[in-house]
Amino acid sequence: MVPALLWLIAGVVLIAAEVLSGDFVLVMLGAGALAAAGASAMGVPLGLDAVVFAALSLGLIVLARPALKRRMRVERELKTNVDALVGQKAVVESTVDAHGGQVRIRGDLWTARAFDETQVMHSGQTVTVMEISGATAVVWAEP
Sequence ranges of the domains in the chain: 2-76, 81-140
pLDDT computed for residue 79 by the predictor: 76
Question: pLDDT-based confidence at 113, cuts 50/70/90?
Answer: very high
Q: For residue 11, with 0-12 CB atoms within 10 Å meaning exposed, 13-18 middle and 19 or more buried, which class applies?
A: buried
| Spatial separation of the C-alpha atoms in residues 140 and 88, rounded to whole Å | 11
Q: Which CATH number fits domain 81-140: 3.90.1640.10, 3.30.1360.10, 3.40.190.10, 2.40.50.140?
A: 2.40.50.140
Q: Give the DSSP per-residue string, 2-71.
A: HHHHHHHHHHHHHHHHHHHH-SSSHHHHHHHHHHHHHHHHTT--HHHHHHHHHHHHHHIIIIIHHHHHHH
The average confidence (pLDDT) of the chain is: 91
Contact (Cβ atoms closer than 8 angstroms) between residue 128 and residue 116: no
Question: pLDDT-based confidence at 24, cuts 50/70/90?
Answer: confident
pLDDT digits (tens, 9 = 90+) for 34-82: 999 999 999 999 899 999 999 999 999 999 999 888 877 655 567 778 8
Q: For residue 118, with 0-12 CB atoms within 10 Å meaning exposed, 13-18 middle and 19 or more buried, which class applies?
A: exposed
Q: How crowded is residue 120: how many other Cβ atoms within 10 Å of its Cβ?
A: 15
Question: pLDDT-based confidence at 31, cuts 50/70/90?
Answer: very high
Report the share of the chain in percent with pLDDT over 70. 96
